[in-house]
Amino acid sequence: MKLLVVNGPNLNMLGKRDKNVYGSFTYNDLVKMIEDWSKKNGVEVEIFQSNHEGEIIDRLHRFDFDGLVINPGAFTHYSYAIRDALEIVKVPKVEVHISNIHRREEFRRKSVTAEVCDGQISGLGVYGYILALEYVKKVSFESKD
């Protein structure tokens, strides 16, 4: 089983962004937390980050994973291209956001990508990634039976 975690634009800047919104975790801290979860659970996890919409779409189009956790970053609010790519991907998938997008600026409250995911986790900090991974792992295992 292989799970894919996709991080969109500016997530590589965690630790440098507004700590009141995103916390003090750096991107390397996030990667280590996911890698530790992967080892503990015996599940292969690939972590992919890009600031470019087309690169994210190309990665999704490889279809070499059994479950997906995606934080599309700002693409959440307007990328119909990523939305369409997510719709094509027929694996368990969860959209995750570190901050609560529903308590932020008006333009950040709408997600065009969440409706083609199984669910959305928003506002639980980096721990939302772990919850999302637990879900996609469980559902991916169940679908293999």
pLDDT at position 108: 72
Edge-to-edge strand order for the sheet containing 44-49? 44-49, 2-7, 67-71, 93-97, 119-122
- Domain harbouring 139, CATH code: 3.40.50.9100
Which segments within the chain are labelled E, that is strand? 2-7, 44-49, 67-71, 93-97, 119-122
pLDDT digits (tens, 9 = 90+) for 35-51: 999 999 999 999 999 99
Instruction: From residue 130, give the alpha-carbon distance in Å to each of 54, 105, 135.
Output: 26, 26, 9
Catalytic hit among 27, 97, 129, 135: 97
Total domain count, the chain? 1
**Least confident segment among 2-6, 18-22, 35-39, 118-122:** 18-22
Q: Which residue has the tokens 């772990």?
A: 130
pLDDT at position 22: 73
- Interior angle at CA 31, CA 143 and CA 140, nearest 5: 0
pLDDT at position 145: 59
Residue 61 is a catalytic residue: no
- Could you list the residue range(s) of the whole structural domain that residue 57 is in? 2-144
Residue 80 is a catalytic residue: no
Catalytic hit among 22, 27, 129, 135: 22
